[in-house]
Structure 1
Amino acid sequence: IQPFRDVRKILIKETIVPDGAVSWLFNAAPIICLVVTIVLVLYIPVFGQRALLDGFGDSILILYLLIVPSLAFVAGGFASSSPYATVGAQREMVIMMSYEFSLALVIVAIAWRILPLTDADPFMLSTVAAYPIWNLVGPLGIVGAVILLFALLTVTPGEVSKVPFDIAEAETEIAGGILVEYSGRNLALFYLSDMLKAFVIVSLIVALFFPYNLSPVIGISASIPAAIVDGLFFLVKVFVIMFVSVMLIRTAMARFKISQASYIYLIAMTLISLVGLILIGVDLML
């Protein structure tokens, strides 16, 4: 609740555009960031229900849309004319280019395993929900899926700019980085989009790896009670994944250098994701 109280307070503060800033881009960046993040929510199955825009886009579209808030974030940093924000924007670009390949490999691996089983688009999250990866694979595939899940959990703090991958903001080094010149409504919009993006990323992990509902297991068939049970079960899954991938790591680790973070995502996580993809491919051929 406290983050939402903070956003409410920031919303009523004065919005200041610094001298020398590209004002239209400076003001447009947080709006674009929030709007695209809201659109992303519409493509993700949440609370145990189908996505509102299910059938109008697949996980490849989601992958592309996930890049847009980061690009808007970077554009806002460059537009602010602050040297701190410029450094933060450069770091954000490096991190973004480093982790996207791992995320793409995870999505491709799951779709590849589903492809022989159905004529439906294997990249659709509704298809992934109908063919959960754990129900399809043998021992090698299970190892591969666990590796892919680990890679995706590692990518999550980078996607949402949390410690130890909050290098683009780094208050103790570059005074908040990209956000250093933002205030009032614009800062609140960035905060809201950041919270929503965290929800989107964790919900995507649930959709890809844990698309199960609880109501069929405990024998609830009535629509409203089933929706309530499945919604609560979804929130439990979201909390557990958020705790493991963000909260626990944030507490246990210090901030990485940009070179370390780039190596972890671009080299280590990419190789790990490739191993998971290969294991699932071998499992498919057996």
Structure 2
Amino acid sequence: MNWLANNPPSLAELLLGPIVVAFVGAIVGLVYLGIDRVLVARMQARVGPPVAQPFRDVSKLMMKESIIPNGSLRWLFQFAPVMCVMGAVVLLLYIPLFGRPAIFEGSGDAILVIYLMTIPSLALVVGGFASSSPYASVGAQREMVVMISYEFPLSVIIVSLAWRIMQVTGANAFSLATIGQYPIWELVGPLGFAGAILLLVSLIAVTPGELGRIPFDIAEAETELAGGMLVEYSGRNLALFYLGNAIRGFAVLSLVVALFFPYNIGGALGISAAAGRIAVDAVFFLGKVLAVMFVAVAVVRSAVARFRVNQASAFYLVAVTLVSVIGLLLIWADFAL
């Protein structure tokens, strides 16, 4: 069922919704960045920064001057950070959050989010090339290589889920609302369950690459490229990139939850009050996002060193693609047999 078609938003919701989502996404994204840094520090036996450190970083950068390097393509250099933030916010608008439907849900949004996820990365690439720095240019080239590498397994994962749902239910399977309505775990037998686990593992492997976190922070690589694509950015422009990455992080982690763990517990707990049920579901959703972040980001970047660009590309194009295709075949075999 298309929730948006049956519950068309008012003009006020269309105007205020994106603003609220952007604000909440930025706050929650920065909080999760802080939690991630604390978790990694604890796993590495360090004290680490406080959870509020990302807020302090953004506040400090907002008060500093944005320096534009000589020789840069000025308008594009300044537009790239805005493009990063806007792309991340638009992505967030199509993903179910806090146990509630997405603001702009609709037919085909599961495919649309694949394209929207590339916008923040493309903004980084554009900003890197526009800065005229050789370090930034190398970082931009690396970012494009990694981005191209993980796009195919990501597409296989979403298509696999949608195909199975379509075969079983006949519903509009390329909608995140439909995927949430029919969790993959409830539609498969033993073979399909194993295939779904492989798809989940593949998506967890894609997540740090999508977010540019260790071991896939090849495009920044401070020890090699002095920050890569962001080497020439400072002040408010750098703060916007920081905010965009925080919002994108929350969006990507929320997408993992929407695809594989679209469950709410308010009704199961017997909470009758609508406000109480919404609050419980929201807290449960944040807990699921935190769990995904811990497994897909914190544990990985605390245990694995940075890959070389050829290693990252081979990892996604060979290993992760193979695992995702095997998952697809197992789901197909489960249906065929």
Shorter chain as normaliser: what TM range?
over 0.9
Counting only pairs closer than 5 Å after superposition, residues 110-189 of structure 1 correspond to structure 2 as: 110-189=161-240
Q: 1:36-64 deviations in whole A, cap 9, x for unaligned?
A: 11011110001111111112651100101
- Correspondence 1:282 to 2:309: no
Relative distance call for 1:99 and 1:5 in structure 2 (3 A) is same
CA distance in 2, matches of 1:121, 1:68: 25
CA distance in 1, matches of 2:321, 2:264: 31
CA distance in 2, matches of 1:221, 1:107: 34
Q: Letter of the 2:179 partner, please give it.
A: V
* Larger CA deviation: 39-48 vs 53-62: 53-62
Q: 1:218-263 deviations in whole A, cap 9, x for unaligned?
A: 1112210000000000000000000000001110111011110110
Q: Letter of the 1:239 partner, please give it.
A: L
Is the CA contact 2:149–2:313 (under 8 Å) kept in the aligned structure 1?
A: yes
- Correspondence 1:215 to 2:266: yes
Q: 1:29-86 deviations in whole A, cap 9, x for unaligned?
A: 1101100110111100011111111126511001011111111110110000001001
CA distance in 2, matches of 1:81, 1:36: 23
Which residue in the other structure is 1:253 paired with?
A: 304
- Correspondence 1:204 to 2:259: no
Q: Letter of the 1:171 partner, please give it.
A: E
CA distance in 1, matches of 2:146, 2:216: 8
* Larger CA deviation: 3-12 vs 90-99: 3-12
Which residue in the other structure is 2:286 paired with?
A: 235
| Root-mean-square deviation (Å) | 0.9
Q: Secondary structure of 1:218's match? A: coil
Which residue in the other structure is 1:96 paired with?
A: 147
Q: Letter of the 1:105 partner, please give it.
A: V
Gapped regions of structure 2 (runs ≥ 5): 1-51
Q: Secondary structure of 2:103's match? A: coil
Q: 1:167-206 deviations in whole A, cap 9, x for unaligned?
A: 0000011100000000011100101111111111110000
Q: Letter of the 1:251 partner, please give it.
A: S
TM-score, normalised with respect to structure 2: 0.84
CA distance in 2, matches of 1:251, 1:55: 38
Which residue in the other structure is 2:79 paired with?
A: 28
CA distance in 1, matches of 2:150, 2:120: 15
Relative distance call for 1:141 and 1:119 in structure 2 (3 A) is closer
Is the CA contact 1:43–1:57 (under 8 Å) kept in the aligned structure 2?
A: no
Out of 40, 48, 69, which is 2:91 matched to? Answer: 40
CA distance in 2, matches of 1:119, 1:185: 48
Q: Letter of the 2:328 partner, please give it.
A: L
Q: 1:138-171 deviations in whole A, cap 9, x for unaligned?
A: 0000100000000000110000111110000000
Q: 1:101-140 deviations in whole A, cap 9, x for unaligned?
A: 1110000000000002334320111101110000000000
CA distance in 1, matches of 2:333, 2:129: 45
Relative distance call for 1:71 and 1:222 in structure 2 (3 A) is same
Which residue in the other structure is 1:105 paired with?
A: 156
Q: Letter of the 1:212 partner, please give it.
A: Y
Q: Letter of the 1:157 partner, please give it.
A: P
Kindly report structure 1 stretches of 4+ aligned residues shifted beyond 2 Å: 116-120
TM-score, normalised with respect to structure 1: 0.98
Out of 100, 104, 107, which is 1:49 matched to? Answer: 100
Relative distance call for 1:121 and 1:209 in structure 2 (3 A) is same
- Number of residues of Structure 1 aligned to a counterpart in Structure 2: 286
Q: Secondary structure of 1:182's match? A: coil
Q: Letter of the 1:76 partner, please give it.
A: G
